[in-house]
Structure 1
Amino acid sequence: MYDLLVVGAGPYGLSIASHAAGAGLDVRIFGRPMASWRDHMPPGMFLKSEPWASNLSDPRRRYGLAEYCKRNGMEARHGEPISVETFASYGLWFAQHAVPDVDQRMADSVTACPGGFEVITEDGQAIRGRKVALAVGVIPFVQIPAVLHGLGKEHASHSSHHRTLDRFRDKDVTVIGGGQAALETAALLAEQGTRVRVLARSHRLNWNTVPPAWERPWRESARAPHSGLGCGWRNWFYAEVPGGFRRLPEATRARISASALGPAGAWWVRERVESRVEVLLGHEVVTASAAAGRVRLATVGDASGGADFETDHVIAATGFRATGARLGMLAPELRGGLAVNAAEEPCVSAEFESSYPGLFLAGLVTASSFGPAMRFVHGASYTAARLVRGVRRSLRRGPADASSPVPVVARGRRSAPGAVKR
C-alpha cells in the first residue's frame, strides 16, 4: 500500500508528487502529464502569468521554468508571455526529472477501503494508498450557461473543449464571455479567417496593462510590489500569503474569491481583438435554438434592447465552478462526506485535508479557502509544501477509519462548526 496516491498530473499534481518523493513518501501519481495544457488549449495561446510566476515546484527548486528555458536555448523574460506549447513542454520535462514515474493511466474512481483509499484506473486495476490527493485541474468544473444546455456538441461547447480551432475556419462563431479565454479564443478565430463576435454581459472590457519593469525605483516597488498575481499589495497578499487568506472570515473569503482578479484580457491580446473582432457589450443570451444546422440566439441588452442573430457555433468561455458535487470520480460516500461552504465548495484544513480524513484536495477547488492564487500555477508551490506536510502528519496519526462518522453538510450551507479546523 502506497503512502500517497496523487490523482492528476498537471502543475499541482506533479508538484505534490515531487514534494512527497522528496519527503521520503512512497507515492504514486496518475494521469497524463499536462493533459489540460496539451489537450484543451489551441496552439497560439499564451500564459497570462509572468514566466517567473509559472514554476512547478520541487523541494530543492532545481526545475523551474527559467532553468528549462536556459537548457533549451530560450529565455524566460519578465513582461514577455510564455506560449502554452512551451509551458506544456516544460511540464513534461519537470515530470521526467522531478517526479517518480508517472502512471499515465487516468483514474476512473476513488473509494474508501480498509486502511485508506483505493484508486481504480481506466483499465480496471485497483491500487491502494493510505492517503489520496486530488489535483484534478479545472476540466471537471466546466461551467456552461443553462440557456445553451439544449444545444448539441456540434452547436455549443466550452472554450476548454478545443485542442484546435481548425474546424471553425470560414464559419461564423459567437464567443460568450469577457475574460482572457473569450478574448484570446476570439483573436485566434479571427486570425484564421473565422467570422467571430464576442458577446459579454459587462458594459466594458477590462484590459490588464503592461507590467512595470522588474527593476524599479524603490519608491515604486514599495507602493506596488510585484507578485505572482500582479502588482500591488492586495495582489501580493493573495499570491504570497495563502495561509493568511485562509484566516479571513468565511464571508470575506467568499466575496474575494468571487470578485478578485475578475475577467480581463491580457495587454498583448488587446490590439488583436479591437482590430478584428466584433464585440457586443451589455448583452445576455436569453434563448438559443438549433435549426437548419445553425444556432439562433436571442439576447437582451440594457441600452440597445438586445439583438437576434444566427451563428454556426457558440463557444462559452464562461469559466469554471469548483463544487464538491462535481468531483465525480469520488465514490458517493466520499463525496457526501465533504463539508462545503455556502457556495457548495469543499472546505479544507490549513494543510489541504478535506473533512473526510486522509482525503486531500488541491488546485481550483481550494480557492475559496486559500484565495485567488489557487486559480493559477503560482499556487502550486505553497500547496505542494503544505499538503505534503499534512499528509505526513496524517500518516503519523495512523490509518483513517472509513467507518467513523464524518461531518456532512447540507448542500449550499456553511460548514459545520469545527468540521475542518485542524
Structure 2
Amino acid sequence: MYDLLVVGAGPYGLSIASHAAAAGLDLHVLGRPMASWRDHMPPGMFLKSEPWASSLSDPGGRLRLETYCAGLGVGARHGEPVPVPVFASYGLWFARCAVPGVDERMAVRLGACAGGFEAVLDDGEVVRARTVALAVGVMPFVEMPDVLGGLGPERVSHSSRHGDLGRFRGRDVTVVGGGQAALETAALLAEQGTRTRVLARAERLSWNDLPPAWERPWWRSARAPHTGLGCGWRNWFYAERPGAFRALPEATRLRITADALGPAGAWWVRDRVEGTVEVMTGTTVTSARRSGAGVRLETVDRDGGTVRLETDHVIAATGFRARRERLGLLDDEVRAQLAALPDGSPWTGRDFESSVPGLFLAGLVTASAFGPAMRFVHGAGFTAGTLVRGVRRRLRAGSADARIPAPADARRRDSGLGLGTGP
C-alpha cells in the first residue's frame, strides 16, 4: 500500500508529486501528463498568465518554465504570452525530471478500503494507498447552460472539448460567453475562415490591459505590485496568501471566489476580435432548438428585444463549476461523506484535506476555500507544499481508519472559534 496516490497529472498533480517524492513518500501517480493542455486546446492558443507566474512547483524551484524555455532558445519574457504547446511540453519535461514513472492509466473509481483507499484502473487493476490527492483539473466540472442541453455534441459543445477547430472551417459558429476562452476561440475560428459571432450577457466586453513594465519606479510598484494574478494589492493577497484567504469568513470567501477576476479577454486577443468577429453584448440565449443540421437560437437583449439566429454549431465557453456531485470518480459512499460549502464545492481543511480523512483535494475544486489563485497554475506552488505537509501529518497520525466526520462537524470547524483549523 502506497503512502500517497496522486490522481491527475496536470500542473497541480505533478507539483504535488514532486514535493511528495522529495519528502520521501512512497508515491504512485496516475494520469496522462498534461492531458488537458495537450488534448483540449486547439493550436494557436496562448497562456493568459505571465510566463513567470506559470511554473509548476518543485521544492528547489529549479524546474521553472523560463528554465525550460531558455534551454529551447524560446523566449519566456514578461508581457509576451507563451504558446500552449510550449507550456504542455514544459509540463512533460517537468514530469520526466521531477516525477519519474508516472502511470498513464486512468482511475475509473476511487473508494475506501481497510487502512486507506483503493483506485480501480481502466484495465481493472486495483491500486491502494493510505492517502489520496485528487488533482483532477477542470474537465469534470464543465458548466453547460441548461438552455443548450439535449442538442447533442454535433450541434453544441463546450469550448474545453476542442483540440482542433478545423472541423468548423467554412461553417457558421456561435460562441456563447465573454471571457478569455470565448474570445480566443472566436478569434481562432475567424482566422481560419469560419463565420463567427460571440453572444455575451455582459453589456460590454472586458479586456485586460498590457501589463506594466517589470522594472518600474519604486513608487509605481508599491502602489500596484506585480502578482501572479495581475497587478494590485488585492490580487497580491489572492495570489500570495491563500492560507490567509481561507481565514476569511465563509460568506466573504464565497463572494470573492464567485466575483473576483471575472470574465475578460487578454490584451493580445483584442485586436483579433474587434472589427473581425460579430459581437452581441447584453444578449441572453432563451431557447435553442434543432434546425436541420444546425441550431436555431432565440435571444433577448438588455432592452427586451428578441433576435432569432440560425447557426451550424454552438460553442459554450461558459466555464467550470466545481461541485461535489461532479466528482464522479469517487464512489457513492465516499462522495456522500464529503462535506460541502453553500456553493456546492467540497469543504477543504487548512492543508487541503477534505472532511474524509486521508482524502486531499487540489486545484479548482478548492477555490472557494483558498481563493482565486486555485483557478490558475500559480496556485500549484502553495497547494503542493501545504498539501504534502498535511499528508505527512495524516500518515504520522496513522488515522486513515479514523471516524469520518459528519458534514455538520466539518462546517462547525470552519466557523466561529474553529476558523482556519483543519479536520
TM beyond 0.5: yes
Q: Deviations over 1:44-98 (max 9, x none)?
A: 0000000000000011111000110111111210000001000000000000001
5 Å matches for 1:328-343? 328-343=328-343
Matches of 2:404 and 2:110, distance apart in 1: 19
Answer whether contact 1:31 1:106 (CA < 8 A) is retained.
yes
Matches of 1:415 and 1:287, distance apart in 2: 41
Matches of 1:109 and 1:35, distance apart in 2: 19
Query: Aligned residue pairs: how many?
Result: 417
Question: Residue 125 of structure 1: CA displacement?
Answer: 0.5
Matches of 1:112 and 1:334, distance apart in 2: 7
Q: Deviations over 1:82-137 (max 9, x none)?
A: 01000000000000001131000111111100000001111110010000000000
> Is 1:374 aligned to 2:369, yes or no?
no
Q: Which residue in the other structure is 1:359 paired with?
A: 359
SS in 1 for 2:306: coil
Answer whether contact 2:347 2:411 (CA < 8 A) is retained.
no
- Distance change (3 Å), C-alpha of 1:416 and 1:268: same
Q: Which residue in the other structure is 2:307 paired with?
A: 307
Question: Residue 401 of structure 1: CA displacement?
Answer: 1.5
SS in 1 for 2:390: helix
Question: Residue 415 of structure 1: CA displacement?
Answer: 5.6
Q: Which residue in the other structure is 1:282 paired with?
A: 282
Question: Residue 421 of structure 1: CA displacement?
Answer: 3.2
Q: Which residue in the other structure is 1:40 paired with?
A: 40
Q: Which residue in the other structure is 1:416 paired with?
A: 411
- Distance change (3 Å), C-alpha of 1:212 and 1:105: same
Identity between Structure 1 and Structure 2 (%) = 67
Q: Which residue in the other structure is 1:100 paired with?
A: 100
Q: Which residue in the other structure is 2:417 paired with?
A: none
Matches of 1:36 and 1:390, distance apart in 2: 27
Q: Which residue in the other structure is 2:405 paired with?
A: 406
Matches of 2:245 and 2:404, distance apart in 1: 29
SS in 2 for 1:298: strand
**Please, which runs of 5 or more residues in structure 1 have no aligned partner?**
none
Q: Which residue in the other structure is 2:319 paired with?
A: 319
5 Å matches for 1:8-407? 8-303=8-303, 305-401=305-401, 404-407=403-406
Matches of 2:410 and 2:182, distance apart in 1: 34
Question: Residue 408 of structure 1: CA displacement?
Answer: 3.1
Q: Deviations over 1:230-253 (max 9, x none)?
A: 000000000000001000000000
Answer whether contact 2:47 2:82 (CA < 8 A) is retained.
yes
SS in 1 for 2:199: strand
- Distance change (3 Å), C-alpha of 1:157 and 1:407: same
Question: Residue 309 of structure 1: CA displacement?
Answer: 1.1
The root-mean-square deviation of aligned C-alpha atoms, in Å, is 1.2
Matches of 1:211 and 1:166, distance apart in 2: 32
SS in 2 for 1:103: coil
**Please, which runs of 5 or more residues in structure 2 have no aligned partner?**
415-419
Matches of 2:410 and 2:253, distance apart in 1: 14
Answer whether contact 2:245 2:253 (CA < 8 A) is retained.
yes
Matches of 1:75 and 1:146, distance apart in 2: 42
Q: Structure 2 counterpart of 1:408, which letter?
A: P
Q: Deviations over 1:3-57 (max 9, x none)?
A: 0000000000000000000000011000000000001100100000000000000
Q: Structure 1 counterpart of 2:244, which letter?
A: G
Question: Residue 343 of structure 1: CA displacement?
Answer: 0.6
Matches of 2:180 and 2:302, distance apart in 1: 24
Matches of 2:164 and 2:51, distance apart in 1: 24
Q: Structure 2 counterpart of 1:19, which letter?
A: H
Q: Structure 1 counterpart of 2:226, which letter?
A: H
Question: Residue 372 of structure 1: CA displacement?
Answer: 0.2
SS in 2 for 1:389: helix
Q: Structure 2 counterpart of 1:251, which letter?
A: A
Question: Residue 304 of structure 1: CA displacement?
Answer: 6.1
Matches of 2:74 and 2:292, distance apart in 1: 49
Q: Deviations over 1:317-349 (max 9, x none)?
A: 000000111000001111111111111111111
SS in 2 for 1:251: helix
